[in-house]
Amino acid sequence: MKRPTHLVLAAMTVLSAGACKKDDAAIKTTSNGEMNVSASADSADARGHSMVRIVNVGNTGKDVALLLGDRTLFDNVQTASVTDYREVEANMANFLARGVGAMEATPLAKNDEVLMDGNRYTVFLIAEDVSKNTLRIVKDEVIPDSGKARIRVLHAAPGGPELDISIANAQDKLFSGVNFKSEAGYKDIEPAKVVLEVRAVNEPKLLLRLPPMDLKRATATTIVITGASKLSFFAFTDAMMPPMALKN
């Protein structure tokens, strides 16, 4: 039986999602079971916009707000959570984090960053100690090479040592010497279910073993290492969405 052309095209589109142009892909972000979708880089670029989100790893224990200039970009951002992406027009961005309901209080942290149209950025609010926070702004490259899964680690554990991160039973380290407030950059690996282990740099003692993670093709997973006397973590995953099926 001959299938309708639009159904054949739709099936081909889904199968080839990983091969579509990277900047044409919308992105789905999953964190703590919640999902949201952001526009493709090309569409944001065409509007003269970049895309920004915030991850709250601060020490307030309360919700925070992120301001861009005098505009509240995000409000009520809970600890250990990641927001959706919001499009912004500003190329010279003046970010400021405050406690919710504390608009007249001293800012928790602030930072300025040059943003390029069509790019994605994550603003991390990180606790430096019990009384001080900082804003760390990183560029997101959430689409891995074809057929791969992408992973990165951000060290947000105040007072923690430099960290080595390895896949359990692997001979080589995945990341080495990750400093506090630093992200190790992205690494593309073969899709697989992996168990990650965290140690102080060049030390055999295991500080943290993550539960098994299913790193799928065409996804980028960010792991945020937190904690003080004892390390913990949370993670969120960005995934390419297949392009829209063609219609007759």
For the chain, percent of residues with pLDDT exceeding 90: 74
Helices and strands: H and E segment counts in the chain: 2, 20
Q: How many Cβ atoms are within 10 Å of 47's Cβ, its own excluded?
A: 12
> pLDDT for 142-166, tens place per residue?
999 999 999 999 999 998 999 999 9
Tokens of 170: 């692997």
What count of Cα atoms within 13 Å lies in the side-chain half-sphere of residue 60?
22
Phi and psi at residue 121, to the nearest 5°: -140, 145
pLDDT at residue number 243: 65
What 3-state class would DSSP assign to 164?
strand
pLDDT at residue number 15: 34
pLDDT at residue number 184: 85
pLDDT at residue number 168: 96
Tokens of 146: 């074809």
What count of Cα atoms within 13 Å lies in the side-chain half-sphere of residue 151?
23
pLDDT at residue number 46: 96
What 3-state class would DSSP assign to 99?
strand
Distance from C-alpha of 100 to C-alpha of 70, rounded to nearest angstrom:
15
Kindly list the distances between the CA atom of residue 109 and the CA atoms of 21, 78, 160, 217, in Å, as whole numbers in the listed order.
Answer: 37, 16, 21, 36
pLDDT at residue number 21: 54
In the block, tokens 């282990």 appear at 197
* Regions in the chain scoring below 50 on pLDDT: 1-20, 245-248
Amino acid sitting at position 40: S
